[in-house]
Structure 1
Amino acid sequence: MHSFEAGARQTTEALRSLFPETPLQRNEHLSARYGADIWLKREDLTPVRSYKLRGAFNAMRKVRAKAPDQREFVCASAGNHAQGVAFACRHFGVHGTIFMPVTTPQQKIDKTRIFGGDNITIELTGDYFDQTLAAAQAWCRDRHAHFLAPFDDPDVIEGQASVAVEIIDQLGRAPDVVVLPVGGGGLASGVTGYLREVAPETRFQFVEPKGGASLAAALEHGGPVKLPKVNSFVDGAAVAKLGELTWRRLDWIRPEQVHLAPEDRICTTMLEMLNVEGIVLEPAGALAVDVLPEIAPLIRGKTVVCVTSGGNFDFERLPEVKERAQRYAGVKKYFILRMPQRPGALREFLSMLGPEDDIARFEYLKKSARNFGSVLIGIETKRAENFAHFTGRMDAAEFSYRDITDDEALTEFLI
């Protein structure tokens, strides 16, 4: 046995003291749609609803084996890594200090506290993750605690490799293709590291959020670079810079294997999985399914495993997810309309709406002049092509309007 394979197998066996293997389920709906044999590796069904528990457990297990007296652990995380560390602290009976940004949603703080119980302390510090991370590392130095990195750590990577060990054991053979989400690269490093040893014929496709494409940037520049801006919507995978260690394990990837998922499109996938399959996925957890239309020609007739990496979704975000999905599908648009301030103007405008069009938002913004008023209007319809008829009628009537649906700055401010 190669050393990485042996380590991954030992880790997988050790993990059984914590939780059973997560299901590998054939998905009939996706298999029929893409003419492939598609399986979902349900990492959203671990005790903390993400694969992160694997790496946190293994790193803590290895530290404890080398230094049994080490009882203080620290991490910085606003999400799944924090919950994995908290769960592992309780399992090993050690103490963890978990640093989270002040802006972390209360639901995530509460869940982390439930998993860790009396074995953890939560420190809220920093508005941004970089500030939180710096505070956690400074705290470690002062108190000789062990810092548990979320992805850039060989023991964490080995822990995530247990996903691949289970896939081979459950499927009984090597899949043709494995589709992996990428954030900092820990899961991708672990799964590819194992499968490239035991199943060299397996091929890989990778997907990262368009607003956090750290692997694509690293491949372009020949090494990890910090992205100037990150869209935090896909919070489980929105990482500004790929890990140095994970990069060394992923530098063989070809750029054409890496796909970027638009955040609004991910929302359509989340809703479909919820409505059709009854599967709750967080944005990062939906990445591997979301990319299937893009890679459809590559997977036809093949056995494909998509890793659904997490299901920590706060349902208070559901209206936002629905909104973004509708915008991506082209069935919801926002306009700023210059409305003449005269009797009958509103009635004239309303007559332009088609039978399938519905007003979802109507708000006077300001009276920019005595004769005209600016109106923010949101319209939902059943089919995207209805908007061409609607705007055509407005053009014919010489109504002045501006479509702001894709104007990120304006929609963030107004909607």
Structure 2
Amino acid sequence: MTGFSDAARMASEALRDLFPPTPLQRNDHLSVRYGADIWLKREDLTPVRSYKLRGAFAAMRKVLATDPAHGHFVCASAGNHAQGMAYACRHFGVKGTIFMPVTTPQQKIDKTRVFGGDSIEIRLVGDYFDQTLSAAQRFCAEVDAHFLSPFDDPDVIEGQASVGVEILDQLGTPPDLVILPVGGGGLAAGVTGFMAEEAPRSGFRFVEPAGGASLAAAVAAGEPVTLKRVNSFVDGAAVARIGAEPFARLQGVRAEHILAAPEDRVCITMLEMLNVEGIVLEPAGALSVDVLPELAGDIRGKTVVCVTSGGNFDFERLPEVKERAQRYAGLKKYFILRMPQRPGALREFLSMLGPEDDIARFEYLKKSARNFGSVLIGIETKAADNFSELTRKLDEAAFSYRDITDDEALAEFLI
């Protein structure tokens, strides 16, 4: 009977029909910073700029090997899985029907269509992913097609394990630590399953977005649970419920080995990798690098592999990423200021700003009051400590203000 590592190696070998192994690159910038030997497994450099192609290809290959006539595949996805399946459908010359939410950005729809060509049909159904998924599964049953899950499928997991195969082959020796992003769990289950057989002394850390920590919730409960709320910013890993099949392979993971990356902090990492290294990562692709500061004391002198899982980043989101990064770093704040309705009040306020402070937003919210007017004001600065000086001056001058930077409800409506 073929073991999991042998199956993963066969999947990896078969993938060479599509693309060569993705680079495993030593990163000097990060290695110097942390006093470690840090390598990036560049899954953002596959033909579809994510590892998802591996699992889609592996699963489709096995289905077609056992039933060549079963040439219709269906999936529900708004992102990387859709593109991976589309690419694989074109490679195998089979039909694919891809369901996407109506709200999917046109850029993602267009890229999926390019990868799939005439082999695929895209159907836009539902405002939310749950509606899209239900429609895809109903359609799949009606036409007797094969539903291709993004992560909850043994064959998909086997394909994702090829990342681990390449890491060992390229590094030439087992790493001390592999840092893996986690969404539905397919990548983590595949790589850990392979390494358990081939490099049992290698350790792992698992990184989830703070607003979608489905693995941590499942480990705490002893079974997969559905999160009541998910922050969708890290869209490639924001999953409300980890897959049953991946969790069955990951349930021995220790809770302290699961890390949560705040969405806004991930933005700082994305900008640093872009500006310093010239590497374009999507939010999920930056997760493994983002937690390095938390692990600094543990990784010194060790060989560490960070899997950068994807680079499908729409640059129209760059202003949002910069905004989130500035707010997390304390370099940008928003206030609601009660401005006295008297001559010179605005000039008085402006005089309180320091030489490194800039007004990024100024908007009257209420002009009808006789004595005061409410103003929404956004301020950028070059050092977070500058805000302490500003608020001290505001307090001394008896200006009434409220910092709403971290007020989720107000920020959503006003900012």
State TM-score, norm by structure 1. 0.99
| Aligned counterpart, 2:222 | 222
Which residue type is aligned with residue 63 of structure 1?
V
| Aligned counterpart, 2:156 | 156
**What does 1:305-384 align with in structure 2 at a 5 Å threshold?**
305-367=305-367, 369-384=369-384
1:48-104 deviation digits (Å, cap 9, x = unpaired)? 000000000000000000110011100000000000000000000001000000110
In the TM superposition, structure 1's runs of 4+ consecutive aligned residues that sit over 6 Å from their partners are none
Matched, 1:130 2:134: no
Distance across 2 between alignment mates of 1:387 and 1:29: 31
Distance across 2 between alignment mates of 1:74 and 1:89: 10
1:301-320 deviation digits (Å, cap 9, x = unpaired)? 10000000000000000000
Which residue type is aligned with residue 392 of structure 2?
G
Report the secondary structure of 2:184's partner residue: coil
Report the secondary structure of 1:363's partner residue: strand
Report the secondary structure of 1:103's partner residue: coil
Contact 1:2 1:197 in 2 (8 A): no
| Aligned counterpart, 1:285 | 285
Aligned length, in residue pairs: 415
Distance across 2 between alignment mates of 1:2 and 1:291: 36
Matched, 1:62 2:59: no
Q: Percent identity?
A: 78
Which residue type is aligned with residue 179 of structure 1?
I
Contact 1:157 1:186 in 2 (8 A): yes
| Aligned counterpart, 1:195 | 195
Distance across 1 between alignment mates of 2:368 and 2:216: 45
Contact 1:189 1:249 in 2 (8 A): yes
Report the secondary structure of 1:216's partner residue: helix
Gaps of 5+ in 1: none
Give the Å deviation of 1:368. Answer: 5.4
Distance across 1 between alignment mates of 2:368 and 2:190: 58
Q: CA RMSD in A?
A: 0.7
Contact 1:285 1:310 in 2 (8 A): yes
Distance across 2 between alignment mates of 1:287 and 1:12: 24
Matched, 1:410 2:376: no
Distance across 2 between alignment mates of 1:219 and 1:2: 29
Report the secondary structure of 2:342's partner residue: coil
| Aligned counterpart, 2:121 | 121
Distance across 2 between alignment mates of 1:65 and 1:113: 26
State TM-score, norm by structure 2. 0.99
Report the secondary structure of 1:336's partner residue: strand
| Aligned counterpart, 2:82 | 82
| Aligned counterpart, 2:398 | 398
Report the secondary structure of 1:355's partner residue: coil
Matched, 1:7 2:7: yes
Deviates most, 49-58 or 405-414: 405-414
Report the secondary structure of 1:319's partner residue: helix
Give the Å deviation of 1:367. Answer: 2.5
Give the Å deviation of 1:2. Answer: 5.7
Contact 1:368 1:374 in 2 (8 A): no
Report the secondary structure of 2:239's partner residue: coil
Report the secondary structure of 1:219's partner residue: helix
Report the secondary structure of 1:156's partner residue: helix
Distance across 1 between alignment mates of 2:245 and 2:274: 35
Contact 1:183 1:238 in 2 (8 A): yes
| Aligned counterpart, 1:184 | 184
Gaps of 5+ in 2: none
Q: Structure 1 residues 380 and 225, CA, compared in 2 at 3 Å: closer, same or farther?
A: same
Distance across 2 between alignment mates of 1:104 and 1:213: 23
Contact 1:11 1:158 in 2 (8 A): yes
1:13-36 deviation digits (Å, cap 9, x = unpaired)? 100001000000000000000010
Matched, 1:294 2:294: yes
Which residue type is aligned with residue 239 of structure 1?
V
